Structure formats: structure tokens, C-alpha cells
Amino acid sequence: MARAAREGIAATSRGEHYEWMAVTGAPLRLHDNRLLPAEPAVRAIAHRLYEAVRDLPLISPHGHVDPRVLLDDEPFPDPATLFVTPDHYVTRLLHADGVSLEVLGVGTSAISEQESREVWRRLCEHWAIFRGTPVRYWLEHELVEIFDVAVRPSAQTADMIYDQVAERLSQPAFRPRALYKQFRLTVLATTDDPSDDLSAHAALAADPSWTGRVIPTFRPDRYLEPALPGWREAVARLGEASGVDTGDYAGFVRALEQRRQFFIAHGAVSADHSHPDVRTDPLEPSEAARLYRAALAGQATPEEAVAFRRHMLLEMARMSVEDGLVMTLHPGVRRGHHTATAARLGPDTGSDIPIRIEYTDALRAPEAMRRFRAAVTETVGFSRTSGFVDDTRAFCSIPARHDMSRRIDAGVLAQLVAEHQLDEEEAMDTAVELVTKQPSKVFKL
């Protein structure tokens, strides 16, 4: 797919012709060498390394795709809902450029075709503001590789691109399961609430027509933070789901242990933790029990709530040692920063910002990925890293993100080869291991 576009020839759709060049002089192409180092000798090495991994299967051991997307296998919604409205990286920049979040459909449960088309026009009109950002890099990759778009988004081309993407989305080859295969995904981890019954995962596993692998991830954040609204209701739900009385601390711990086992039985390999910090200060069991009682009674102070969470994070580590769930940490995100927006439009509407410590976002954008890879490798080599984690809820962006990562790693390795710090054969071996052995080993897949 999109081979033609990659070679710089205007794309022709199956069955009909889009006469792109008649509309606009700006083609949209993905250059074969994009993101590879510019110096010719280094680029040549990087290209050889990249070629060795470009078509290898994708392992996605940590992300936020809804499992029902693959269970139901319904067509993806309209282009705006697919690419714009739920992506706060996109809406944030459009908003900063003067487009209201409401016009972009943020906070709306469903938008009409007319509204979707309007949102899409806003995106295309403001295309220039995304220059140099990874958002643009991913969107271009998706438009070209998945949807055969061969013209740069602009006010003039917005409707035409909308039509082409919408038409594609209606075809069977663009349904989630077909794309899962086309993307060469071999495993896709979701992120799930400990009280979730994992029925979507169970139904997928029981479906004889489904040959992929979608696994849950245990994410107990909200159960460990008594200061968050709804915490008491959450631990009550946890009691129901586990069949263990969470009326006291011992039951709470047992219920968490029980749900981890339930997740493991449904294929989970890791637990994900995102808190304001990663401190782990153990409490005496009696003190932990006291704080839990106070929290249930709505009488825990903010300091006590933090102390309880730091204690529980260590408990999570203890459980991981015992039951083997790989522990991933994503600290340092201040959620709901802009109180008014969060209240008006709900979570994930542009109101999360990174605070002091941040690892995951450091992996996102090309320059940041290069710095991360170079800095971490100097300290621990390549063998201590898990390989790329796409960490996305945007299913269609998964190949673009992995491809970016493979290009960046090819470039970093090529630089090491060009500076004679590594033989090319070793670099080749490392490039392949980073997308095969490393994620499988680290996530016990």
C-alpha cells in the first residue's frame, strides 16, 4: 500500500482517479530517507539498518487502544473523529491558533458528517502550524500509507482529502481487524481498570475468526489515590469485581492481588502506574490500615492520602515480584491542569501537562527520541531498554510511531558505526533485537 506515493507518483485510488495535481501544486509524499541522518555516508549505513527492520512485525506491549475496537470490528468513524477530535496534541495547537475546542468537537459525544467536514477543514487550513512537530509526521504517514492521500492538506484540498479518507473507511480492508493484519501487529496491549470484567478480551480470545493477540494491562492508579474524587466508589467496585470485602485494608490488598491474578489469566503481562511521583515510602501495616480507614471515612488529610499512595506503590512492586507482572512507571504528569477546560469538556482535553520527571513523552518526538536513545545508551547500553513503546490510543497511528522509532534507532546506530564505535554487523544485530528480542524479553511476551 502507498508504494506508489512513496515513489513520488501521484496516487491513484482503486477504481477512480484523483486528479490531485490539478487542484494544488503541493504533493504529499513520504520520502524513503525521512528522519535518517543527512550526512551521506551515515545515511547510507542508516538506510541499510532501517531496511533490515522496516517490515518486521510490530510488538505493542503498552498502549491505550480500546479492545472493543478489535472485538466489534466496526468501521472507524468519520475522518475528524478518527484524526482530530480525540487527539489533544492536535486540538491543543489548533486551539492555540484560535480555533475553539467546541468547533473541533472536543467534549461532544458524536458529531454529524457536516460537523466532521468542518473540523477537517480547520485541520487542513491550519496545516502550517504543525510544521516540525511529530503530530504532522504521524498524520502524514497515516494519510499516505493507509489512505493513499497524495496531496498536502490545505484549505483547497480539505474536502477532497476528506472524501478520499471517508470512502476508504467504508471499505472492508480498512476495518480494525484488517488493519491489524496489514500493520503486521503481533501483540497489542490495552490498559484496563482493575474492576473491568475483561469481557472484551475474553470474547476476542473465544472468537475463532480472530487470530491476533490483544492483552489487558493492569492499571490501578485511581485505587491508590484516596484524594481523587470517586475513590470510595472505586474501591467498592473493586470489592464487587473481586468478591473480596474491601471494607478494610487487608481486604483491599487481597482484592488487588485477586484482580491481578484475574488479569494474568486473561493474558496480562504488565501493570502500569502513573502518579505525580514515584516515591515508595513503606508504612507499618497498622498505619496503612489506619490511613485506609480514614480514607474510607473521608477523613484522610491530603498528606495522608499521599503517604498511602506511596506505600501502595511499593505494595504494587511487591506484588509484581510475586506474580510477575512487569511494572511500568509513567510519573510526573499533572492531569487536569486547566481546571476550567477539564470541568467543561472532560479528561484528556488538553489539560494534562508534564511536570518535573517525564520519561514517556521524552520518547515521542524525533529529536527527543534521539537524545533519549543516545543518553540512555551511554549509561546502560541497548540491552536494558524495552524497545519502542507507542503508548497510544490512536490505533491507526501505531505503524507511523513504530516506523519513526525504527528510523531514529537506525540513525543513532549508524552514527555509532560512522564514528567507529560499533561495527555495522553489530549495529544490524542491535537494530533487529530492539524490535524483536528486547520487547519480548522485557515484557515476557
Residues in contact with its own copies by the rule CB under 8 A? 26, 30-31, 33-42, 93, 96-97, 128-134, 136-137, 365-368, 374-375, 377-384, 415-416, 418-423, 425-426, 429-430
Sheet holding 214-215, edge to edge: 58-60, 185-189, 214-215
CA 1/CA 290 separation, integer angstroms: 60
Joined together, the cell numbers standing for residue 349 give 482535553
By beta-carbon proximity to its own copies, the closer residue of 136 and 344 is 136
Element (H, E) at 187: strand 185-189
Joined together, the cell numbers standing for residue 302 give 491530603
Smallest distance, Å, CB 357 to its own copies?
Answer: 12
By beta-carbon proximity to its own copies, the closer residue of 103 and 368 is 368
Give the strand pairing for 353-354 and 326-329.
unpaired
Check: CB of residue 188 under 8 Å from CB of residue 389: no
From residue 111, give the alpha-carbon distance in Å to each of 115, 176, 277: 6, 21, 37
By beta-carbon proximity to its own copies, the closer residue of 43 and 260 is 43
Smallest distance, Å, CB 160 to its own copies?
Answer: 19
CA 55/CA 3 separation, integer angstroms: 13
Sign of CA dihedral 352, 357, 359, 362: positive
By beta-carbon proximity to its own copies, the closer residue of 9 and 375 is 375
Residue with cell 468547533: 103
Check: CB of residue 62 under 8 Å from CB of residue 216: no
Joined together, the cell numbers standing for residue 378 give 551511554
Check: CB of residue 416 under 8 Å from CB of residue 203: no
Smallest distance, Å, CB 35 to its own copies?
Answer: 5
Residues 365, 371, 377: CA angle, nearest 5 degrees: 125
By beta-carbon proximity to its own copies, the closer residue of 286 and 379 is 379
CA 74/CA 68 separation, integer angstroms: 9
What type of residue sits at position 321?
A: V
Helix crossing, 113-125 with 158-169: angle to 10°? 130
Smallest distance, Å, CB 87 to its own copies?
Answer: 15
Smallest distance, Å, CB 30 to its own copies?
Answer: 8
Smallest distance, Å, CB 99 to its own copies?
Answer: 12
By beta-carbon proximity to its own copies, the closer residue of 45 and 215 is 45
By beta-carbon proximity to its own copies, the closer residue of 66 and 424 is 424
By beta-carbon proximity to its own copies, the closer residue of 36 and 53 is 36
Smallest distance, Å, CB 384 to its own copies?
Answer: 6
Length of the chain as a residue count:
445
By beta-carbon proximity to its own copies, the closer residue of 141 and 275 is 141
By beta-carbon proximity to its own copies, the closer residue of 242 and 438 is 438
Smallest distance, Å, CB 296 to its own copies?
Answer: 32
Smallest distance, Å, CB 319 to its own copies?
Answer: 20
From residue 1, give the alpha-carbon distance in Å to each of 51, 146, 152: 17, 7, 18
Smallest distance, Å, CB 440 to its own copies?
Answer: 16
* Dihedral angle of Cα 325, 331, 336, 338, to the nearest 10 degrees: -160
